[in-house]
Amino acid sequence: MLATGSVLKNIPEALEGEQFQDLLRGQGFRVERIVSQGYCSPQGFWYQQVESEWVLVIEGAAKLLFEDGTVHAMTRGDYVLIPAGVRHRVEWTDPAHPTVWLAIHFPTSS
C-alpha cells in the first residue's frame, strides 16, 4: 500500500509551541515534521539527544543556537546535521509565518 501526503498541508493557523508529527519510522530511524511559528526554546532549556538529527527547513526561517555560542540561521532549503549529544536550542522562528521543518533522527554509526 502506498503512503502519500504533503508536509505543507494541514499547517495549523495558530500555534502555541511546536507541533511534532511522525511521518515515518523504521528500524533505527524516525522522520518527523515540525511546525513552529514565533517559537523559541524555554530559557535555559537545551536539546541533547542520544541520536543524531538532520534538520531541513522546508518553509519559513529559524535560528538554532549551539552550546558553543554558534548561531545557525536557516531559511528555506537550509539544513544542518546535529551530531548526537550536541546541546542546542531553537533561538528563534519567524513570528509572521509558520516554519516547517523535516527532521530525520538516526543512531550515530561507529
Q: What is the pTM of this model?
A: 0.90
Domain chopping of the chain, boundaries: 34-106
The Cα–Cα gap between 52 and 105 comes to 6
**Residue owning grid cell 549529544:** 85
Per-residue confidence (pLDDT) for residue 14, from 0 to 100: 77
In 1-110, where do the E strands start and end? Answer: 18-26, 29-36, 52-59, 61-66, 71-75, 79-82, 88-93, 99-106
* Cα dihedral value 27, 72, 13, 21, nearest 10: 10
pLDDT tens, the chain, 110 aa long: 888 889 999 998 878 789 999 999 999 999 999 999 999 999 999 999 999 999 999 999 999 999 999 999 999 999 999 999 999 999 999 999 999 999 999 998 75
Q: From 3.30.300.30, 2.160.10.10, 1.10.150.80, 2.60.120.10, which CATH number describes the 34-106 domain? A: 2.60.120.10
- Return the SS3 of 103: strand
